[in-house]
Structure 1
């Protein structure tokens, strides 16, 4: 989809007005040149010096043209010292018409060698003629009007003539560069890094012109046969400027893909935001990150990864909407600037289209790869009013898309842990953990025979000012801020302390605690859990850890080692939210779990949706074939209970059984169901840590 221009009339007027300048430059230059040629020929004058000096200037011009063609670069950005120096020398000695002929020869011949750039050559030639005319007017204002018939010979130059030479060079440079910048720069463009570097280069060109042009005049007047030797310093000047240009571009380009880098992107984003502010329009950044790209590097090597990035960059270029620009931030992160968007929805639509294109199969050395990507969208002025802020918020949205596996997400302040409000909540959560103000509630898992299979510890936080904070909100803050290990430590410590008290009171019900992928990837996590069990005197079988498939995504080997260590200590593992991830069957074989929990999204419509019912039936059959128990989450009505029982599910969890309760209410609920010591023999064996296995 291409961003439209609705709501931006000023932008349309700017785009309509901009092309009139090149046409005007060409028209004025052609008219002036034609008039000058007619007047000179009508008065019997010569257009160009004849004899040795004329042929020597022609040879020097040819050498310069050959070098510029060999460079293969545009004259404005590539450096034009040689042509400009020769043009200025001809202007000082013979006037504007011979200088114009030399300039036209350089521009037309170079443009002819690059046939696909003839429009650019025409514009450059016209602008050069206008610059020469302006410089000639500056000389005329000082009383100097040279011509082929009456040259301004260097023998007559005096010290007071030097300001005229400086003025002519300055006028020529100022007019040509100003006209070219205005003609070629994008609408509303500010001075980017490349442009600022180019302007510095043009100042150096001016100094070179002052040094070389008068010397060319002197040699042309006294030793014209030596004029072709000036090709050496002039070509050296062009080469130096070309190298400087390449180095300046390298600083703003990604060396692997050739895309703009972070600095260039920020320059262009600032320019786009300035334009959007003037027009009252929106602009957007789309940050794209490849999922599981690290596994390509680890499996196929970094060279294969580089080739893959090249293919991704080419796809991104081809898929860009009109006016959009792509850049590579580093690694597998890319960003797209949308200078104009209609709305947040249209920006997200562009992001989804880009994700779809990047997700098509790729061929790498005969191997077909399918890479998924996640994108975050931030829009000006809705989310930020500066380039850096927009990029930060796009990054937050991208990580949200990666966590939710939704493809593309638009930034939402309520999900950003870096906003002042969220940072304040993070500080409050940290203090609440230190003060023990975060509570655990316990929700039962019950078998169809009525026995309690276990309890799940669920964290609850009542903020002194905000009231009850939703768990999804503060858990997301903990995960994004690095506080998650501290929260998990708190929950484990509190839950194990409660299990120890229940066991002392004769209640032998195992408790499940949710752990995040970050916890599993923390070095020494298995040993720390074993140490806490020993300190509280709780057998490992009384603790169950609930994990998701995502523990295997970032570092599969470390996750596998940690999970093996936990099961080696006797801790039971449960796979939570089954069916909401991807490649579930593959991951299920790699996870040492004894229980599988069917996500509530499949259970909620079980009684009315045959497709969900079939998914649950297949899941139960699969789990049982692997020797796993099956627990259904979110059971809220009798019909769903009965359907799950008929499908062979082992246990259920949900409001139909009981909501999550504080420890005191949980204790009373367990005793009311006869789950004390006298009933323990029905659900557990009396010996060792194996005595705490759930029975369904």
Structure 2
């Protein structure tokens, strides 16, 4: 048995140990008295045996137990014990008082050591179940407390980095402390825990579903109230993940916390105040993690490839570009759609590897197609992380030199939303790229943040109007109106408009009528592998003819 288990065993049996130790100590004191008496009296060395029950009493019962046993032992070997039994000579009072003083000192010291050790162990036990900064129960305490018929809510503070960088680390502790105090004041059965630096957990013991809904709304409302820090009112953003613990608890406690945190992740992604757990969330999260885990290997093993979808000039049908679209052929799972790995990869460092792969593949294709007289720009999508990567433009310049292509045959598409992450850095990097004569365009225009105030600053040649507007036109008058405005706006600031997601020739004809410059979509052709694109291009002589135009 190791020390940890020994201490746990002793702690669980403290009461029984102390109960049995009282008669044992009495017997030990009596035995020492009889031993000293039987060996001829106090003048012999056997009187030192009394230190044993005194030390044991101090360790078991603490300082009080050590003192009591020392006094009893001092009296037993004091006036009731002669110096020499054979002659009946009695001790001087100073002798047994002096000895009793030493007994008392040992009793106090052993009791003090035991009390200190007990206090320290108690403190360690408290620390193991509490957050020292806020004194709230911690993650381990929550796992120990999970019970059937309860609602577990994990609350995450979202603007932690902003708060810490502005007001210091202590503001997070204070925010957690005030939110916990606020939740505890509410009239509902609950317990509050701090499970991570920026996360709280609330365990509600409510049986009625309606009561749970009310409690959740109350928590959301309370979390929106500002906190007070150094006399300043501060807003704290928060999201909540929710899971129910049913009547029969079959899973380990960690599983329920995992469910709540998985729901929290969805709430953060969807920008919702709260989100309830469902089994589909865990399945999707697991699949995402597995997919990302295999993505790097997929790049190394050449499982990724690029297909190309042409861009057509609507006025005359001339093919004037192509967009490179990522494809992943998994050896066992088959074709994995880009929507299953690109968005998640954009939130990780893997996107840099993917972008590098796409750029190299696209440049190789430019070189190959030029040999066959196909001289059209290839557009590659880049992410926010790429634009914020130091020396990204220098990296592109080196690749252009390495492959020996003309820079104007490379187009970089940036989504509208990514422009707003760090507009100054984005504009600066895009200016460097445009300075290399690379074509720049804004993708998914109309779906992201409001970029109109920055649009005139960007060194772009095109805006790509998102397919959500294109596919609904011209039947949807609202979508058609947005399309017309976007095309007109592009022309007024001296750039061209591309409509993506053109699914049929009616939409193509409508785009022609409003003066849209270019079109891309299944109405023209679906994305093609390099050889298939070459065959399609040569077959139509680089010109797409719409039957309704």
Q: Same fold (TM over 0.5)?
A: yes
Task: Note if 1:415 corresponds to 2:284.
Answer: yes
Residues 1:632 and 1:483: Cα distance change in structure 2 (over 3 Å): same
Task: Note if 1:434 corresponds to 2:334.
Answer: no
Residues 1:645 and 1:482: Cα distance change in structure 2 (over 3 Å): same
Distance in 1, Cα, partners of 2:189 & 2:70: 49
Structure 2 residue corresponding to 1:451, chosen from 310, 318, 323: 318
Residue by residue, what CA displacement relative to the aligned partner does 1:287-325 show, whole Å, maximum 9, x if unpaired?
Answer: 5240x4423444565566665555555556567963253
Partner of 1:159: 30
How far apart are 1:361 and its partner, in Å? 6.2
Partner of 1:16: none
Q: Is the 8 A contact 1:363 1:369 kept in 2?
A: yes
Task: Note if 1:541 corresponds to 2:396.
Answer: no
Partner of 1:72: none
Residues 1:209 and 1:587: Cα distance change in structure 2 (over 3 Å): farther
Partner of 1:629: 496
Q: Is the 8 A contact 1:288 1:333 kept in 2?
A: yes
Distance in 2, Cα, partners of 1:458 & 1:393: 34
Distance in 1, Cα, partners of 2:312 & 2:211: 47
Task: Note if 1:669 corresponds to 2:536.
Answer: yes
Residue by residue, what CA displacement relative to the aligned partner does 1:490-533 show, whole Å, maximum 9, x if unpaired?
Answer: 21111111122223322222111122333334434322222112
Residue by residue, what CA displacement relative to the aligned partner does 1:580-630 show, whole Å, maximum 9, x if unpaired?
Answer: 444555675776544333333333334444444455455555555554433
Partner of 2:338: 471
Alignment RMSD (CA, Å) = 5.2
Partner of 2:139: 265
Distance in 2, Cα, partners of 1:642 & 1:675: 19
How far apart are 1:205 and its partner, in Å? 8.1
Q: Is the 8 A contact 1:461 1:471 kept in 2?
A: yes
Residue by residue, what CA displacement relative to the aligned partner does 1:323-366 show, whole Å, maximum 9, x if unpaired?
Answer: 25342511x344444577899x9999987875665456667789
Distance in 1, Cα, partners of 2:212 & 2:185: 18
Distance in 1, Cα, partners of 2:305 & 2:329: 8
Residues 1:271 and 1:370: Cα distance change in structure 2 (over 3 Å): closer
Partner of 1:191: none
Q: Is the 8 A contact 2:155 2:199 kept in 1?
A: yes
Residue by residue, what CA displacement relative to the aligned partner does 1:12-36 show, whole Å, maximum 9, x if unpaired?
Answer: xxxxxxxxxxxxxxxxxxxxxxxxx
Residue by residue, what CA displacement relative to the aligned partner does 1:212-238 show, whole Å, maximum 9, x if unpaired?
Answer: 56689999xxxxxxxxxxxx9999999
The structure with more helix, counted as a fraction of residues = 1
Partner of 1:85: none
Q: Is the 8 A contact 2:416 2:447 kept in 1?
A: no
Moved more, 597-606 or 210-219: 210-219
Q: Is the 8 A contact 1:378 1:394 kept in 2?
A: yes
Q: What is the 5 A alignment of 1:62-101? A: none
Q: Is the 8 A contact 1:283 1:341 kept in 2?
A: no
Task: Note if 1:660 corresponds to 2:531.
Answer: no
How far apart are 1:538 and its partner, in Å? 1.9
Distance in 2, Cα, partners of 1:439 & 1:531: 22
Distance in 1, Cα, partners of 2:452 & 2:62: 71
Partner of 2:156: 288
Partner of 1:599: 466
How far apart are 1:651 and its partner, in Å? 2.9
Partner of 1:210: 65
Q: Is the 8 A contact 2:130 2:141 kept in 1?
A: no
Q: What is the 5 A alignment of 1:354-433? A: 358-359=223-224, 372-376=237-241, 385-388=251-254, 390-391=256-257, 394-395=260-261, 397-406=263-272, 408-409=274-275, 410=277, 412-416=281-285, 419=286, 425-426=291-292, 429-433=295-299
Distance in 2, Cα, partners of 1:522 & 1:642: 41
Residue by residue, what CA displacement relative to the aligned partner does 1:141-171 show, whole Å, maximum 9, x if unpaired?
Answer: 99xxxxxxxxxxx9xx972799xxxxxxxxx
Q: Is the 8 A contact 2:393 2:433 kept in 1?
A: yes
Residue by residue, what CA displacement relative to the aligned partner does 1:90-115 show, whole Å, maximum 9, x if unpaired?
Answer: xxxxxxxxxxxxxxxxxxxxxxxxxx
Structure 1 residue corresponding to 2:366, chosen from 489, 499, 514: 499
Residues 1:469 and 1:252: Cα distance change in structure 2 (over 3 Å): same
Distance in 2, Cα, partners of 1:374 & 1:255: 24
Partner of 1:27: none
> Which secondary structure does the structure 2 equivalent of 1:574 belong to?
strand
Q: Is the 8 A contact 1:437 1:461 kept in 2?
A: yes
How far apart are 1:672 and its partner, in Å? 4.2
Distance in 2, Cα, partners of 1:648 & 1:204: 93
Q: TM-score, normalised by structure 1?
A: 0.53
How far apart are 1:441 and its partner, in Å? 1.1
> Which secondary structure does the structure 2 equivalent of 1:636 belong to?
coil
Q: What is the 5 A alignment of 1:546-565? A: 546-549=413-416, 551=418, 562-565=429-432
Residues 1:396 and 1:640: Cα distance change in structure 2 (over 3 Å): same
Distance in 1, Cα, partners of 2:456 & 2:177: 35
Distance in 1, Cα, partners of 2:189 & 2:431: 52
How far apart are 1:422 and its partner, in Å? 6.0
Residue by residue, what CA displacement relative to the aligned partner does 1:652-681 show, whole Å, maximum 9, x if unpaired?
Answer: 3222232111122322333344439xx9xx
Residues 1:593 and 1:241: Cα distance change in structure 2 (over 3 Å): farther
Structure 1 runs not aligned, ≥5 long: 1-130, 143-153, 163-202, 220-231, 680-696
Partner of 1:111: none
Distance in 2, Cα, partners of 1:346 & 1:485: 48
